[in-house]
Structure 1
């Protein structure tokens, strides 16, 4: 689905000046759109006291974006030391941070507990032995196995590497109680880019029922239920959007029923990344080459180092040719980068208006898992990131990588182990 009309209108008015000043390629993000989405989440879940969004840092790990999230009162979902550092640099600490990792090293737990700590969300019962200290508040990521199905991105739960086995979840909490933990949360994440709101409601109900069962068996209360992220966005024209209003309403009703039955209501946490920023970003590139062989290829000045999703997942991203929005799509072409891989394609056999060298192409919905998933294979460098501020100014929030950056790790003191 194309980026919002309001974002496109704001961007199109200034795009020639932005390109003249910064050049291409670049990702550009829309602060107004991000804030509007965040405010809608707050409003939709207002019936659950203590509701909080923990922005999934992996989606768009840029300090300026994180500062926007912080200003809305959101916390951060982190899965690495680097993401913890980025989040702490916003001034966030303690229970404003959720550290969810898998196959985690002891050093990572040590770092997660430093500088005010974070909520530890353990992915497996065996990780308890790696804890460097016993936290007062502990959470476990639950994997229901065959009790639920997943989706094509994460896969079915029983095939996924994430989470504590159903038969071990009570033991996990009992172990932490014995070690001294006194406060508890429960987490899961079973799908990615899920646009069926019923699936997310069922996930919330599943966790509430599990929390009730564990509470009854161990005589504990859960402070929060975290249903994870995975809220989807419509990338393709005609894709139905996630019905957030109905989803929030039905989840809120489930929490109310839990309170009526159990005498208390846990807080609701979510970990939206894509939903928060995905539709509010675009990758702007320039057409630099046209090749006509067995197919027509339009070469652009970016490649998989800027946007990996089409090659990795076969993901669809809408493409608009700037200034030709109303021109008939009379051409069928692959839009490609210059990487030495044949899957380095932003679009395959896509109907587009006639494109000429120098035309600007806007690749939609790159505000999540776009720049963040970039890489340096083939010596390709990642592009700059820009932010379209609320006041209409455009700010550079990450410079493009340079050749010097690429070779930095080759600068080191000689170190030879003689055997």
Structure 2
């Protein structure tokens, strides 16, 4: 099984005439089809909404596509709130160790504040006053480890996010006293799960908890937010999640728990970043050097500053040598960038077709947590972002960073005239 790129060698050769590599390119058609599928999977829930995780792909052109389907935005910083507001659509603000000005901004924008810790309630009193917005949410951390039938998925007990059950009950009681009329419950217990069990299992636990708290505190739940965690298979042989099966699994838990509890009007929210965008973005780079020492190396014009996941996590990203999709993968390479770090490798001991200088490499599944995690080490510059539109045309949705951009924060120093050109 092979991952098929959504662009061809001839398309990239044409694009590269005006947009030099490296660059990110996103597939509008794929994004839209996936949005429709997510909407269909949860259509059984009248209040369903996807709050796309802005941190995954913080580009207003991408957010605008997602907003076309009525979806909102999960934000966790001031910059993300400003981006979401520029596009429009509902906002969920799930942050931690949050500065006061960011809470104030979210409240001013009409976003839903999702409280990460019980100590944030008195902190919010200083910002919002004694009367809080009518709808607020709290984040839950059950502790321990989170298990599914296929084993341990993650370790919430070692996570900095969320509150204990006892703290939740106290938090909802305090929120009620502050004038909050309806509340939400939020939890994120595992990342990049590739199993249709994750959301339904999480949903069952949160539904039971919400029903118990609703009765105990006497407060109405407006929504339950399953957050993110629905992942993708990065390797060609990986099984992919079936969002229709996931939605059906959540529905069964909803009817098992919430409907009998008289909570059948509770909305289901999700905050998927990776599932929504990762397969629909690629980093395109060009082979510019080859090295033959103890191993075979191909040096490309992108580096870990453009896509840090392989260097940071040892994450696998599939690579296609464009134009050589049908050639045998009979050469073993390390694919490297130019940073002065030995972990600056997109692939280690990867079997690929013979690569020649000037070949274009497509690095798959970089549409989420790819460009967004870029940085400037060694003075390497951020690349452009391009959108492959449904009609086949290409639009630049973020220009490449320039040296003037990089040096711009020296503009009031004695070095400005030497570093920043007119």
Q: How big is the alpha-carbon RMSD for the aligned residues of Structure 1 and Structure 2?
A: 1.9
Distance 2:404 2:201 in 1: 50
Aligned residue for 1:347, secondary structure, equals strand
| Cα displacement (A) at 1:310 | 0.4
For residues 289-300 of structure 1, the aligned pairs below 5 Å read: 289-300=289-300
Which residue, out of 12, 17, 35, partners 1:15?
A: 12
Residue 127 (str. 1) matches residue 120 (str. 2): yes
| Cα displacement (A) at 1:246 | 1.8
Aligned to 2:168: 169
Distance 1:154 1:107 in 2: 35
Contact 1:333 1:352 (8 Å CA) reproduced: yes
Aligned residue for 1:339, secondary structure, equals coil
Aligned to 2:141: 143
Distance 2:259 2:95 in 1: 34
For residues 357-376 of structure 1, the aligned pairs below 5 Å read: 357-376=357-376
Aligned to 2:419: none
Residue 233 (str. 1) matches residue 224 (str. 2): no
Q: Size of the alignment, in residue pairs?
A: 407
Contact 2:181 2:220 (8 Å CA) reproduced: no
| Cα displacement (A) at 1:316 | 0.5
What's the CA shift string for 1:268-290, capped at 9, x where partnerless? 00001110110001111000000
Distance 1:363 1:195 in 2: 20
Distance 1:19 1:128 in 2: 52
Distance 2:402 2:153 in 1: 34
| Cα displacement (A) at 1:166 | 2.1
Residue 37 (str. 1) matches residue 34 (str. 2): yes
Q: Quickly say closer, same or farther: Cα 1:273–1:259, change in 2 above 3 A.
A: same
What's the CA shift string for 1:346-396, capped at 9, x where partnerless? 000000111111111111111001100000011111110000011111000
Aligned to 1:255: 254
Contact 2:154 2:191 (8 Å CA) reproduced: no
Contact 1:154 1:160 (8 Å CA) reproduced: no
Distance 2:240 2:391 in 1: 28
Contact 1:105 1:130 (8 Å CA) reproduced: no
Q: Quickly say closer, same or farther: Cα 1:305–1:52, change in 2 above 3 A.
A: same
Contact 1:320 1:362 (8 Å CA) reproduced: yes
Aligned to 2:308: 308
Distance 2:136 2:113 in 1: 6
| Cα displacement (A) at 1:23 | 1.6
Contact 1:109 1:130 (8 Å CA) reproduced: no
**What TM-score do the two structures reach when normalised by structure 2?**
0.93
Aligned residue for 2:192, secondary structure, equals coil
Distance 2:195 2:97 in 1: 30
| Cα displacement (A) at 1:262 | 1.6
Structure 2 unaligned runs (5+)? 415-422
